[in-house]
A and B are shown apart, each in its own frame.
Chain A
């Protein structure tokens, strides 16, 4: 069975600090996809990134970066120089193989960026 664990329920930092959100996953499949979604206070779920199990290259997009390590089954998300607008709940998710079963989500990490 697949599982996603986000151990950090809530993180609070001061603006401009760097912050890392942890995600650990479990799956028996060799082919799978990992995702991060952002849920701002307005409530919608916004897709941020997808990574497949065969691509362990880290990715950077502006202030956002993602570290995928199969050896530790982790897919961590770092925000550099955080801003108040980054305040949101962030979800890590997993989709196995063909993905027909949709996504399995972690419980989410509530990130609070204080001015």
Chain B
């Protein structure tokens, strides 16, 4: 079975540009999570969805960040405008309810903003 699929794997962009990260969760999973990993803050939860509905976006750092899940098989995380401090690895993850909360991660999107 395919795991969580993220794209792009690597992106280098200039400050001020819009960045869109994409995620396809594991088929049948009803929760989707976006995490960010930095050296300073470690792994932090940005936002999560249940059945395509955003449940908690309290981890989103500021209004420049937005996330959508138009259907059960696709989600985007958008940064507009991007800043150098947004450079990080962004992980998408998913899980299915009643499986002991195990979350499965994608390979991550490595973002560098110059």
Residues on A facing B (Cβ under 8 Å): 33, 35, 37, 42-47, 50, 52, 91, 95, 99-108
Residues of B within 8 A of A (CB): 31, 33, 35, 42-43, 45, 48, 50, 55-56, 89, 91, 93, 95, 100-108, 110
Q: Give complex CA distance A42, B10 in Å.
A: 12
Residues from chain A with Cβ under 8 Å of B48 in the complex: 100-102
Contact A47 B102 (CB under 8 A): yes
Complex Cα gap A46–B95 (Å)? 14
Task: Check B107 against A43 for contact (C-beta < 8 Å).
Answer: yes
A50→B42 contact, CB < 8 A = no
Flag if A102 contacts B42 (CB, 8 Å): no
A-B residue pairs, 9 tightest by C-beta: A99-B101, A45-B105, A105-B43, A95-B101, A44-B107, A102-B45, A33-B101, A107-B42, A102-B33
Query: Secondary structure at chain B's binding surface: helix, strand, loop or mixed?
Result: strand
Q: Which residue of A lies closest to B44 (CB)?
A: A105
Q: How far is the CB of A38 from chain B (nearest CB, A)?
A: 11
Is the beta-carbon distance between A50 and B108 smaller than 8 angstroms? no
The minimal Cβ–Cβ distance linking B101 to chain A, given in whole angstroms, is 3
Closest Cβ neighbor of A42 among chain B residues: B107
**Max chain B C-beta neighbours (<10 A), residue from A44, A91, A102:** A102
C-alpha gap A104/B108 in the complex (Å): 18
Quick check: B45 and A52 within 8 Å, CB to CB?
Answer: no
- Residues in B whose Cβ lies below 8 Å from that of A95: 101, 103
